[in-house]
Chains A and B, each alone.
Chain A
Amino acid sequence: QKEVEQNSGPLSVPEGAIASLNCTYSDRGSQSFFWYRQYSGKSPELIMFIYSNGDKEDGRFTAQLNKASQYVSLLIRDSQPSDSATYLCAVFTSGGSYIPTFGRGTSLIVHP
């Protein structure tokens, strides 16, 4: 069974710090990796995706992928209280139909 694992948290960081969110996946054939943010009572919204090994930066967000270790992370620099949300890692599995499989999410709390 294809699995995506995340630490449920909560991860608590002070405002202005770097928040580091981690995700591991079991299917070596996985091809692309997405980070979604979900505020309480709202629907998930895409932050960024990555499909090549290495880092990908978008504003305060950096996604890091290591396919050999089956590990993907999201760094949030200069964390703001508005970043407080649940962060969901999603993995597109291989095999014809690309169905995003989600992890359980990590709750992030940024305190002033």
Chain B
Amino acid sequence: DTAVSQTPKYLVTQMGNDKSIKCEQNLGHDTMYWYKQDSKKFLKIMFSYNNKELIINETVPNRFSPKSPDKAHLNLHINSLELGDSAVYFCASSPGTGANTEAFFGQGTRLTVV
């Protein structure tokens, strides 16, 4: 059983389009995250969502918006896609906000904007 699942695994789209990436976790975790990993492997936090509290990395363009219909889902919507948005996007979840909580990652979504 997949703990944190993302769909799609690959996404190729044209500049200017709007796309969504879905994320679901079946671990019963309270906190979910979205990370962007660039070509140099740098994992950069985009959003953290815990108990309806959204923490946004202020460097993330407002074209990116997370949507959480319930505790088990945190989807990522991206408007007006740009070439620089090409990256691997990882969803993750953790049990809570304690300092020793491990983050479990989904398999990643490779987004290519052409």
Contacts and interface: CB of A to CB of B under 8 A. Distances in A.
A32 B48 contact: no
Interface in A78-112: 86, 88, 90, 92, 96-102, 104-105
B101 interface: yes
21 contacts: A32-B99, A42-B107, A43-B107, A45-B105, A46-B104, A51-B99, A90-B103, A96-B97, A97-B50, A97-B55, A98-B98, A98-B99, A98-B101, A99-B48, A99-B55, A100-B45, A100-B103, A101-B45, A102-B44, A104-B40, A105-B43
Interface of B: 33, 35, 40-45, 48, 50, 53, 55, 90, 94, 97-108
Contacts of A99: 33, 45, 48, 55
Contacts, number: 60
B100 A49 contact: yes
Interface of A: 8, 31-32, 34, 38, 42-46, 49, 51, 86, 88, 90, 92, 96-102, 104-105
A40 B46 CA distance: 22
Contacts of A92: 99
A17 B94 CA distance: 34
Contacts of A49: 100, 102
Contacts of B99: 31-32, 51, 92, 98
A81 to B, nearest CB: 20
Given A34-B102, A98-B101, A43 B45 contact: no
A42 to B, nearest CB: 8
Nearest to B48: A99
B50 A43 contact: no
Given A97-B50, A99-B48, A46 B40 contact: no
A98 B101 CA distance: 9
A105 B50 contact: no
Contact of A97 (B35, B43, B48, B90): B48
A43 B106 contact: yes
